Chains A and B, each alone.
Chain A
Amino acid sequence: MKKAYLGVDIGSISTKGVVIDENNQVLASSYLWTQGNPIDAVKRVVGELDQTMNGAGAGGLAGQYTIVNSGTTGSARKLIGLVLGSRVVKNEITAHAVGTLSVVPDVQTILEIGGQDSKIILINNGVVMDYAMNTICAAGTGSFLSSQAKRLDLELEDFAALALRSENPAKIAARCTVFAESDLVHKAQIGHSKEDIVAGLCRAVVLNYLNNVGKGKQIKGPVVFQGGMSKNAAVVKEFERELGLPVHVDPHGHLMGALGVAVLCKNEVQESAFDFNITNLEFETRGLECAGCPNSCEMICVYREGQLLDAWGNKCDIGASLTSAQAA
């Protein structure tokens, strides 16, 4: 049996999983909507990966590999790490950097705009030198653009095509969603065309990013652009125009977090085997508001087959005793 490694990236919008071999080659991958239920999403992702690795259509792969380590990243990394019994639970910044480096070894700058947040990672000689994340609010991220698309009665898919037709993008205030919306209405009322407004929004996303996340950072090529926003060709074009550098978008860019955490698994000395059987187990989370003090910590208790696995979210020991009482 050859060794393989599983990486899972569970974001608020999508869940991604990859299985790699010892040469960082992707053996299987899966990409699904999280739909507000990370545990269910991961079970579906793992189910798909199992099909590719061991299912009827697996062909030459079938039964050749055993997964010796698994890792998680993304906003639900802790919960899913527990569910999968993962050895590696990593933040998404590190995971993205490691994943991208395994594909583009000479990358110097990673731009990322996701659903809720955005980040920049600067790399020199394969080592992360500096990074930053958005500090203000969600304006300029994926959820911002999709809400504006809705407001303009457009499908997000048509957004980029429309924007690319504009020759004179409108100037849109996009620091804050509220401002952007009133400005959008205003621009439409004074007669800007839809493509100019849409192109203006794409430009605002880029300027906003460079003025906030990218402020004071020396952006050098090769530049890789990731995250949901990287699928928007108009935003890519704006980045290239502003930076004066080619911006690479990998068709598998969305898998970089999962890939990164799989690579990190490979580097772990200790192994802790992964069993696809996980899809048959019953997991449950229960939210609990601790009433011990006015902090009202929102605690999450995770159960497997009815047994409390772990709980977190409490700031002090009052909460801990509360959950152990629950477990009893």
Chain B
Amino acid sequence: MSQKLSHHDHNGRTHSKDNHERKIACTPTIGDYALLGDILMERLLGYETMPCPPLTKRTLELGAQNSPDMICTPFKITLGNHIEAAQAGANVFIMPGAGCRLGFYDILQKQILDDLGYPNDIISLFDYIPTTKRLFTAMQERNPELTQQQFDEVFALIIQITVDMDGLADYLRHNRAFELEAGQFESNYQAYLSEVKLAQTAGEAADIGKKYDKLLRAIPVDKPQRPIRIGILGEIYVVVEPFSNANLEQWLMDRAVEIDRPFDLTRMAIGIFNNEQQIAESGGYVNYNIGSTANDVIAQTHRMMKEGVDGVIHIKPASCSPEITAMTILQNMSQDFGIPVMYLTFDTETGEAGVHTRLEAFLDMITMKRQSADRAA
């Protein structure tokens, strides 16, 4: 006899035996975005929130031990997050849902947490076609008193913060390598995050965003006319979570490289409805949806190569299917434009030293290429 997945009803809601048990919610570490999960949980459900225990080697080990071998790496890392958070007392876990294998993560993760004996409610924010209605339903099931108006207000706040933090971070990536006084960008950005966490309304958050935008733009930089510029693209989790990608952006910025990394949550959210446009912007390399963010990888690489980027780094977790399709196409683009693309695959075993050696060689290569082109000119 097979048993149906424990306690899920049609909307993925878990029925708890005791509605009065203390709810402690934890959002896994996905770059700086966990604060968005905290806001949802605190303000829409009245749950307590707990910062996710920091990602460490132990997180990876726990995740890998309890996951199927062939699953993609973000599953393993976020499962490790859940387990460590459960050990620290959390019992509600937030997963984004929507699309690709990610859309099923929570189903299997819940089964694994059940089998391990951790009481849990995994909230999948979206269904496979992400809509705010689905998010509202997921929230209302857990807080029947939640009104549409309350939801709308908090949702507007979340959108505001997302757009602002992504905008600030993008500016940082283009300029941090050239700051005159080390650490200024990062400390201002961190200050923004801790301040915006307390914003009550979208308006307040927007004001904080504007304030920090001014502060960031006032930081003195010494940016050369044509700095070495590297594009970073690929699967969204490894792109936005530095721990999962050997912190490669930091490594490059420390070596005076301007980073063009268009992928963030804002772009993801818009991109889901923008597939047609991505295909149109792919320079004829693709005709159809090839899955997840892969079309945007092609479209953005095409833009960067037209703009004359020095090199592109494509990153993905092991066995990420859509990105594997994208790689075949990127190889053709790299050849046609004569711009090198380096491919890095990350799993829970990837050593930082190996990645840094490859980055160093890549950077050497494009720097020498630039020098010889300049000499020829």
**A–B contact (CB under 8 angstroms):** yes
Residues of chain A having any CB pair with chain B under 8 Å: 90-94, 97, 125-133, 135, 216, 218, 293-296
Please name all residues of chain B whose beta carbon is closer than 8 Å to the beta carbon of A218 when the two chains form the complex: 335
Contact present for A94 and B361 (CB under 8 Å): yes
Collect the chain B residues with CB atoms within 8 Å of residue A93's CB: 357-358, 361, 364-365
CA of A48 to CA of B321, assembled, Å: 52
In the complex, chain A residues whose CB is within 8 Å of the CB of B343:
132, 135
- Of residues 347 through 368 on chain B, the ones whose CB sits less than 8 Å from some CB of chain A are 357-358, 360-362, 364-365, 368
Report B271-317 residues with CB < 8 Å from chain A CB: none
Give 12 A-B pairs besides A127-B372, A295-B56, A296-B56 with Cβ atoms closer than 8 angstroms.
Answer: A90-B364, A93-B358, A93-B361, A97-B365, A129-B365, A132-B343, A133-B358, A135-B345, A293-B54, A294-B59, A295-B58, A296-B58
A218 CA to B57 CA in the complex, in Å? 38
- Write out the residue numbers on chain B whose beta carbons fall within 8 Å of the beta carbon of A91: 357, 360-361, 364
Cα A216 to Cα B343 with chains together (Å):
12
| A132 vs B358: C-alpha distance when bound (angstroms) | 8
Known: A94-B364, A129-B340. A216 touches B372 (CB 8 A): no
B57, A296: Cβ atoms closer than 8 Å: yes
The CA of A129 and the CA of B368, in the complex, are separated in Å by: 9
Q: Is A128 in contact with B360, judged by CB distance below 8 angstroms?
A: no
Residue B331 lies at the interface, judged by CB distance under 8 Å to chain A: yes
Query: Closest residue of chain A to B54, judged by CB?
Result: A293
23 contacts between A and B (CB under 8 A): A90-B360, A92-B361, A93-B358, A93-B361, A93-B364, A94-B360, A125-B372, A126-B372, A128-B364, A128-B365, A128-B369, A129-B365, A130-B334, A130-B365, A131-B365, A216-B327, A216-B331, A293-B54, A293-B56, A295-B57, A295-B58, A296-B57, A296-B58
Contact partners of A128 in chain B: CB under 8 A: 364-365, 368-369
Distance, CA A68 to CA B362, complexed state (A): 28
Nearest residue (CB) in B for A122 is B340
Q: Which 7 A-B pairs have the closest CB atoms?
A: A93-B361, A294-B58, A216-B331, A94-B364, A294-B56, A295-B56, A128-B365
Cα distance A62–B335 in the bound complex, in angstroms: 51
A216–B372 Cα distance when bound, in Å, is 25
Q: Give the interface size class of chain B.
A: 20 to 34
Q: How far is the CA of A216 from the CA of B331 in the complex (A)?
A: 6
> Looking at the complex, which one of B342, B358, B368 makes contact with A127 (CB distance below 8 Å)?
B368
User: B residues within 8 A CB of A135?
Assistant: 343-345
Minimum CB–CB distance from A111 to chain B (whole Å) comes to 16
One digit per residue, 1 when the CB lies within 8 angstroms of any chain A CB and 0 when it does not, for chain B 319-330 equals: 000000001100
- Check if B372 sits within 8 Å of A131, measured CB to CB: no
B57 touches A92 (CB 8 A): no
A107 to chain B, nearest CB (A): 15
List of A residues within 8 angstroms of B338 by Cβ:
129
Asked, given contacts A126-B372, A127-B369, A128-B369, whether A92 binds B357 with beta carbons under 8 Å apart, the answer is: yes
Minimum distance in angstroms from A195 CB to a CB of chain B: 36
Cα A294 to Cα B372 with chains together (Å): 46
Tell me the bound Cα distance from A296 to B340 in angstroms: 36
Residues of B within 8 A of A216 (CB): 327-328, 331
Residues of chain A contacted by B358 (CB below 8 angstroms): 93, 133
Q: In whole angstroms, what is the CA distance A293 to B344 when docked?
A: 27
Q: What CA separation (Å) do A112 and B358 show in the bound complex? A: 15
Report the Cα distance A83→B372, complex, angstroms. 33
Q: Is the CB of A94 within 8 A of B365?
A: yes
Contacts of B344 in A (CB 8 A): 135
How far is it, in angstroms, between the C-alpha of A127 and the C-alpha of B374 when the chains are bound? 12
In the docked arrangement, what's the CA distance between A125 and B376, Å?
11
| Assembly CA distance A128 to B364 (angstroms) | 9
Q: Known contacts A94-B361, A135-B345, A294-B58; is A130 also within 8 Å of B340 by CB?
A: yes
Chain B residues with CB below 8 A from A130, complex form: 334, 340, 365
- Do B369 and A129 touch (CB < 8 A)? yes
Determine the chain A residues whose CB is within 8 A of the CB of B340 once the complex forms: 129-130
CB distance from B75 to the nearest CB of A (A): 20
Bound-state CA distance A131–B344 (Å) is: 12
Minimum Cβ distance to chain A for residue B271 (Å): 26
Q: Choose among A92, A125, A135, A218 the residue with the greatest number of B CB atoms under 10 Å from its CB.
A: A135
A218 to B332, CA, bound (A): 11
For B327, what are the chain A residues with a Cβ–Cβ distance below 8 Å? Answer: 216
Which residues in A have their C-beta under 8 angstroms from that of B59? 294
CA distance A127 to B372 in the complex (A): 7
> Which single residue of chain B is at the shortest CB-CB distance from A297?
B57
Give the distance in Å from the alpha carbon of A93 to the alpha carbon of B356 in the complex.
Answer: 12
Which residues from B are CB-within-8-Å of A125?
372
Q: How far is the CB of B41 from chain A (nearest CB, A)?
A: 25
Most buried by A among B331, B343, B364: B364
Complex contacts, A296 vs chain B, CB 8 Å: 56-58
Residue of A nearest to B62 (CB): A294
